[in-house]
Chain A
Amino acid sequence: MRESVVTFQNVYKSYPFYHHVRGVKNFLFDFPRNLNKIQNQQYEALRDINFEVYRGEKFGIIGHNGAGKSTTLGLIAGVLKPNKGRVTVRGRISPLLALGAGFHPELDGRENIVLNGVLMGLTRREVQRKMDEIIEFAELDEFIDQQIRVYSSGMVARLGFSVVAHLDPEILLIDEVLGVGDIRFQRKCVKKMQEFRGSDTTMILVSHSLPSVVNLCDRALWIEDHEVRMIGNAQEIAENYCKSAGVEMDLNPQKPVVNTEVTNVIF
């Protein structure tokens, strides 16, 4: 019996349109109507989502823009809470990796590594032990002692990936990160992610790059219109996804059709 580390049970998530009531004046002047507004004007991002991710599994999430992929990831990370249903997560989760992951612009690279480590639940000692490895992987050289605000976006992305990949998360969350950084670094990232394949680390990857999902993930979840469309073998899901989108699936690296990312060059 495999142990599940992430469980979604009948999960609903909707966002109110907060901007309608920003401001004390507007809020107080028309209190009953505003309260009504908050309750009625909801944007439904996820509807009755059910799935499980097992320990050590590499799990992909695909779907169109705005389908609810990032909301799902936010729920797993614990920064969002569902309106209905239950999300259960067991284990130390990596910070949500997207461009400019939990970095503070005024701190230098090293300080940001420590900050991210303690934020995800490690102690400073544990972070220090990984420090050299992280710096070496990110290839920042003398920039590591510079404030993050002077970094190029590529540098930030490199440091971000290096931090989450090396800090030993039990659950690694990756949101569409392979699009940044130069080709060489992208390859390095994918290689690093492949190292996780045999490990105990659970990896959850949100991506528009079908080749990455097929090559890195065992199983995949396809979200469409805020609902689960399909769950299953990554290859199968990707094929069905392409069929429904009316695009020919092509995992051939030489002429990527589905995605323009360069990640797939190596496959």
Chain B
Amino acid sequence: MKRLKDFSYHRNLENYRDLLLVLLQKEVKVRYKSKVLGYLWSIASPLAFAFVYYIAFSGILRVRIEGYPLILMSGLFPWQWFGNSVGTAPKLFLNNSTIIKKVNFPRNIIPLATVMNHMLHFVLSLPVIVLFMMIYHKPISISWLYGMPIMILIQLVTVYGISLILASLNLFLRDIERLTQIVMTFAFYFTPIIFTLDMIPEKYRYLIPFNPAAPLMINWRHLILDGTVDFYYLGISVAYAIAFLLLGTAVYKKLAWKFAEVV
């Protein structure tokens, strides 16, 4: 029986869990190390953006939007997770070249740990949203309790799938890094983040399902501000999540054996 055990792969579930935990810990520590203000930085950036857009649209362009500060925050906070994860995804394997070249381990844990790190920061920034909702006398819905975990899971799977694709391909075609930056700029302005779904002209709304980020962000805003979700867009998000997960895994499986040669 000893022999049989030797033939099987030596990693068990506990090792997988620890691998994920240690890599996640690494991500969190690297983010905070040599930074005095730590946590504050992870909420400072979406807050600063919210402030800038508020000044630009309400102060200067004088667009009248009811409760614009909360609209901005309910868009920018989830987007920060999505955008940062996807934006940094192409370099994931490159940044971990030292360990990829030395040990054979399931490398797809790296994108998972990074995406979960960004997810953690999003969850930690939720109290800030709650605080602002209290300031603006907006009630917090009880449906957050089940809505949040569902939305977080869908976004986690989606972003993990996309990261896996970009990180794997970028090892072979390094331009993907630049391409991603440009695409993400487009995605930011073509997704209802600093504006709402209603502001998009009717004749263009059929295009929304083609943007993987849009259905997610629409539902984040619904959930945070009204405590509801739109099931049509939720369905599209789930479909995207599954599609990206499958595609990402396929790309990774196809290319992973060459990582150590090209990284």
Interface of A with B (CB < 8 Å)? 3, 15, 18, 22-25, 27, 74, 77-81, 90-93, 95-96, 98, 100-104, 106-107, 111, 114-116, 118-124, 147
Q: In the bound complex, do residue A74 and residue B260 qualify as a contact, i.e. CB atoms below 8 Å apart?
A: yes
Provide the bound-state CA to CA distance between A3 and B175, in Å: 48
Once A100-B98, A122-B15, A123-B14 are accepted as A-B contacts, the answer to whether A18 and B172 lie under 8 Å apart by CB is yes
Residues of chain A contacted by B29 (CB below 8 angstroms): 106-107, 111
Provide the bound-state CA to CA distance between A116 and B102, in Å: 10
Provide the bound-state CA to CA distance between A27 and B23, in Å: 34
Provide the bound-state CA to CA distance between A98 and B99, in Å: 12
Q: Which residue of A lies closest to B257 (CB)?
A: A81
Q: Is B10's CB within 8 Å of the partner chain A?
A: yes
Provide the bound-state CA to CA distance between A219 and B182, in Å: 56
Q: In the bound complex, do residue B26 and residue A102 qualify as a contact, i.e. CB atoms below 8 Å apart?
A: no
Residues of chain B contacted by A120 (CB below 8 angstroms): 103, 105
Once A102-B98, A103-B98, A124-B18 are accepted as A-B contacts, the answer to whether A23 and B26 lie under 8 Å apart by CB is no
Provide the bound-state CA to CA distance between A92 and B8, in Å: 11
Q: Is B62's CB within 8 Å of the partner chain A?
A: no
Provide the bound-state CA to CA distance between A73 and B18, in Å: 26
Q: Which residue of B lies closest to A96 (CB)?
A: B102
CB distance from A167 to the nearest CB of B (A): 11
The 0/1 profile, CB within 8 Å of A marked 1, for residues 166-182 of chain B is: 00000011111001000
CB distance from B260 to the nearest CB of A (A): 4
Q: In the bound complex, do residue B30 and residue A119 qualify as a contact, i.e. CB atoms below 8 Å apart?
A: no
Provide the bound-state CA to CA distance between A79 and B257, in Å: 7
Provide the bound-state CA to CA distance between A145 and B124, in Å: 28
Residues of chain A contacted by B208 (CB below 8 angstroms): none
CB distance from A170 to the nearest CB of B (A): 8
Residues of chain B contacted by A122 (CB below 8 angstroms): 15
Once A18-B172, A24-B176, A24-B179 are accepted as A-B contacts, the answer to whether A118 and B18 lie under 8 Å apart by CB is yes
Q: Is B262's CB within 8 Å of the partner chain A?
A: yes
Q: In the bound complex, do residue A102 and residue B99 qualify as a contact, i.e. CB atoms below 8 Å apart?
A: yes
Q: Which of A18, A81, A115 is close to B26, meaning CB atoms less than 8 Å apart? A: A115
Provide the bound-state CA to CA distance between A96 and B176, in Å: 30
Q: Is B198's CB within 8 Å of the partner chain A?
A: no
Q: Which residue of B lies closest to A98 (CB)?
A: B102
Q: In the bound complex, do residue B100 and residue A79 qualify as a contact, i.e. CB atoms below 8 Å apart?
A: yes
Chief secondary structure at chain B's binding surface: helix
Q: Which of A74, A119, A124 is close to B105, meaning CB atoms less than 8 Å apart? A: A119
Residues of chain B contacted by A91 (CB below 8 angstroms): 6, 10
The 0/1 profile, CB within 8 Å of A marked 1, for residues 155-194 of chain B is: 0000000000000000011111001000000000000000
Provide the bound-state CA to CA distance between A93 and B102, in Å: 10
Q: Is B101's CB within 8 Å of the partner chain A?
A: yes
Residues of chain A contacted by B202 (CB below 8 angstroms): none
Q: In the bound complex, do residue A104 and residue B26 qualify as a contact, i.e. CB atoms below 8 Å apart?
A: yes
Residues of chain B contacted by A118 (CB below 8 angstroms): 15, 18-19, 22
- Subset of 27 A-B contacts with CB under 8 Å: A3-B3, A18-B172, A18-B262, A24-B175, A24-B179, A77-B103, A77-B104, A79-B260, A81-B257, A91-B10, A92-B10, A95-B99, A95-B103, A101-B102, A102-B101, A104-B26, A104-B98, A111-B22, A111-B25, A114-B22, A115-B23, A118-B15, A119-B105, A121-B10, A121-B15, A124-B22, A147-B33
Provide the bound-state CA to CA distance between A91 and B3, in Å: 10
Q: In the bound complex, do residue A95 and residue B15 qualify as a contact, i.e. CB atoms below 8 Å apart?
A: no
The 0/1 profile, CB within 8 Å of A marked 1, for residues 1-24 of chain B is: 001001100111011001101110
Residues of chain A contacted by B175 (CB below 8 angstroms): 23-25
Q: In the bound complex, do residue B104 and residue A104 qualify as a contact, i.e. CB atoms below 8 Å apart?
A: no
A114-B22, A115-B99, A123-B18 known, 14 other contacts, Cβ within 8 Å: A18-B172, A24-B173, A77-B102, A79-B103, A80-B260, A80-B261, A90-B7, A96-B101, A102-B103, A107-B29, A111-B25, A111-B26, A115-B22, A124-B22
Q: In the bound complex, do residue B103 and residue A119 qualify as a contact, i.e. CB atoms below 8 Å apart?
A: yes
Provide the bound-state CA to CA distance between A130 and B172, in Å: 38
Q: In the bound complex, do residue B174 and residue A22 qualify as a contact, i.e. CB atoms below 8 Å apart?
A: yes
Provide the bound-state CA to CA distance between A106 and B10, in Å: 29
4 shortest interchain CB distances as A-B pairs: A78-B104, A79-B260, A102-B102, A24-B175
CB distance from B172 to the nearest CB of A (A): 7
The 0/1 profile, CB within 8 Å of A marked 1, for residues 109-142 of chain B is: 0000000000000000000000000000000000
Provide the bound-state CA to CA distance between A119 and B257, in Å: 17
